[in-house]
Structure 1
Amino acid sequence: MNGEIVVITGASAGVGRAAARAFAEAGAGWVVLLARDADRLQDTCAEIERCGARALAIALDVADAAAVEAAAERVERELGPIAVWVNNAMATIFAPVEDISPEEFARVTQVTYLGTVYGTMSALRRMRARNAGTIVQVGSALAYRAIPLQSAYCGAKHAVRGFTDSIRCELIHDKSAVRITMVQLPGVNTPQFEWCRTSRTHHPQPVGTVYQPEVAARAIVFAATHDRREVQVGLPSVMTILGSKVAPGLLDRMLAQRAYEQQFTAEPIPRDRPDNLFQPVPGGFGAHGCFGERAKNASPQLWTSMHRDVLVPALAVAGVSAFAWLMRRPRRRALPPRR
């Protein structure tokens, strides 16, 4: 990162906090942390500084466009040009659509979708002027394949993908050197399952293979520093995205039958459990959630994707060499027929 300035939204916990550490370890000079909870932001600052970078915490709600713009203005005024802006903040609610109020649906959309829009607009105002910079949208496999009980979140992530594709076309049209990319995540072991709002009576959980947030963080740093249109994390994400294109109707029926139960553990939760939809939940939440025992620390698929520029030529050379070797092998002469 060569001492550059990185801004991350939703940086006080989960994937955002892991990404903040990863950027610091990759050589960022300043990591600017945007989130609502001031105490957790200060804890994250301490982690960043232990990793060798400097940190600035700005407490705000990404659904407030004026606050996001003011933060961007402050960063460039006090620290310098923003090199990377990561839109990571999200909110969700686990409930059938008939159990979601208009206010709840609007709030998920404002944070997950409009928060990304506002961050992108503030970053673009500055990056376009100097024709440099990268915007990373933290997405999900659910941006391609929606699942039941998360209609607000899935709708917002689909919207983020459409918005990002549109902006990318505009940048290409203008021959801009500013780059925008999206990272599609699988299920990740973060605190969101401990504080998300739900109308159900049992503890929410990630579906399928679960990864530690450091895996997602590596993908985000890679996307910020390499020219990739999109980075997909984990084989489940790849298969989900592929399945949504090849057999969407079949996936509809499979998810209708299985996804209700798969999104919850057998552990009941109290009805008065606090959630973070409108206000942050106080407490010492970090990058990790409560599913560490089943979470994977690495993704072979991600490693392969990150190294494809080396692997593809190497495989091509290996294939050509194997073909040439087969062609050089002496052929056995056919035996004369017996009389």
Structure 2
Amino acid sequence: MVVVTGASAGVGRAAARAFGARGDAVALLARGEEGLERATAEVRDAGGEALPLPVDVADAAAVDEAAARAERELGPLDVWVNAAFSTVFSPVSEATPEEFRRTAEVTYLGTVHGTMAALRRMLPRDRGTVVQAGSALAYRGVPLQAAYCAAKHAVQGFHESLRCELLHERSRVRTTMVQLPGLDTPQFGWVRNHLPRVPRPVPPVYAPEVAARALVFAADHPRRREFWIGGSTVATLLGDRFAPGLLDRYLARTGYGTQQTDAVPSPAQREGNLWRPADAEPGQDHGAHGAFGGEAHRHGAQPLASRHHALLAVAACGAAGGAAVGGRALVRGLLRRRAAVHPG
């Protein structure tokens, strides 16, 4: 039995569908009832059992009650996926304290509330997995997304602390985090926006199914502390680790243009879904995909490498070992030749 938060659209919806496709029972948590209804139908069509549960993850009591109902109707909880979030695109100087607070309540505290609801049920049984849907921005802040970056940084710290505690207790409850790249989800058309143009994901862009497959894989392999999905995620995290100051300057030059389209946002797009669901009205279901499908990668070598890193490491070591052996043979041959030409 799997619980997915943020299941009405985007990554959460794609993940719920992916779990359903393998026959899992899926409880779908989100605010928007229109999106939940359509997502529920997709999970059932894919072959899974589905239970829609309208809830705002910023409400801890409501999340815990949703978890209790999910177990009553679907059985004991095995996997909890935290994918719900909300945010605002804005320079810090133009955002409000209320917008930062609400972003933290949904994106960070929503993750905390979901995790705690899961732990209340998993720890007594000494089994279960919590999967955090993260981001490259959980490590690296970018301009115009301070609220989101701060919340994801908080999730990252929370995840690391919890993992240490579970290891200390020798618990068989696991937690892992999947750091995701720019994705073609509807969020860029519905988040609160103070920018002059409509926001967009930083390329290269990946389809939400890439993220969904990674979340399902992580749920099945929770001993890994985290997964890096997408070449851009790897480049960002390594760049931040080894040259953060250089990356600051690079993002200062490029981060404004690469995060905006040429389109001017409508009043509804400026308002966004920070305080009310984007699909609050009938006929406003947004699905898993956004407006950037034409450039979105549906597959990639790097996600495969992240899933099978141990096998690739062995292969790389073998290749390096072969290269080393060949190199030593070449050096010995050159030394013998030199000795023959210059006996002294």
- TM superposition shift of 1:218: 0.8
Aligned to 1:222: 217
Measure, in 2, the Cα distance between the counterparts of 1:322 and 1:199. 54
| Cα separation, 2, equivalents of 1:71 and 1:336 | 82
Amino acid at match of 1:269: P
Deviations 1:200-248 (A, max 9, x none): 2211101121000000111101111012110011011011011111111
Q: Which of 153, 167, 172 is matched with 1:172 structurally?
A: 167
TM-aligned CA deviation for residue 317 of structure 1: 4.3
CA displacement, residues 118-175 of structure 1 (integer Å, 9 cap, x when unaligned): 0000001111100000000001000111011111111000000001100111101111
Per the alignment, residue 286 of structure 1 pairs with: 287
Give the C-alpha shift of residue 19 in structure 1.
0.5
Q: Which has the higher strand share?
A: 1
Q: 1:128 is matched with which residue?
A: 123
User: 2:40 corresponds to which residue?
Assistant: 45
Query: Is the counterpart of residue 87 in structure 1 residue 82 in structure 2?
Result: yes
Structure 2 CA distance for partners of 1:72 and 1:317, relative to 1, 3 Å = same
In the alignment, the residues of structure 2 paired with residue 194 and residue 104 of structure 1 have an alpha-carbon distance, to the nearest angstrom, of 17
SS across alignment from 1:204: coil
Runs of 4+, deviation exceeding 2 Å: 270-274, 308-329, 331-337
- TM-score, normalised by the number of residues in structure 1: 0.92
Report SS of the residue matched to 1:33: strand
Q: Tell me how far apart the structure 2 counterparts of residues 37 and 125 of structure 1 sit (CA, whole Å).
A: 26
- Aligned partner of 2:14 among 18, 34, 50: 18
Asked if the contact 1:203/1:265 (under 8 Å) is kept, the reply is yes
2: CA distance, partners of 1:336 / 1:162: 63
Give the superposition deviation at 1:336: 7.6
**TM-score, normalised on structure 2?**
0.91
Quote the Cα distance in structure 2 between the aligned partners of 1:317 and 1:253. 38
Counterpart residue identity of residue 290, structure 1: A
Percent identity at matched positions? 53
> How far off is 1:315 after superposition?
4.0
**Structural mapping, 1:69-88, within 5 Å:** 69-88=64-83
Higher mean alpha-carbon deviation, 312-321 vs 248-257, is at 312-321
Shift of 1:327: 8.3
Counterpart in 1 of 2:132? 137
Letter in 1 for 2:288: A
1:244 aligns with 240
User: Is there any run of 5+ residues in structure 2 with no aligned partner, and where?
Assistant: none
- CA deviation string 1:60-80 (max 9, x = no partner): 100000100001111122221
Question: Is 1:67 aligned to 2:62, yes or no?
Answer: yes
Letter in 2 for 1:18: A
Paired residues, number: 333
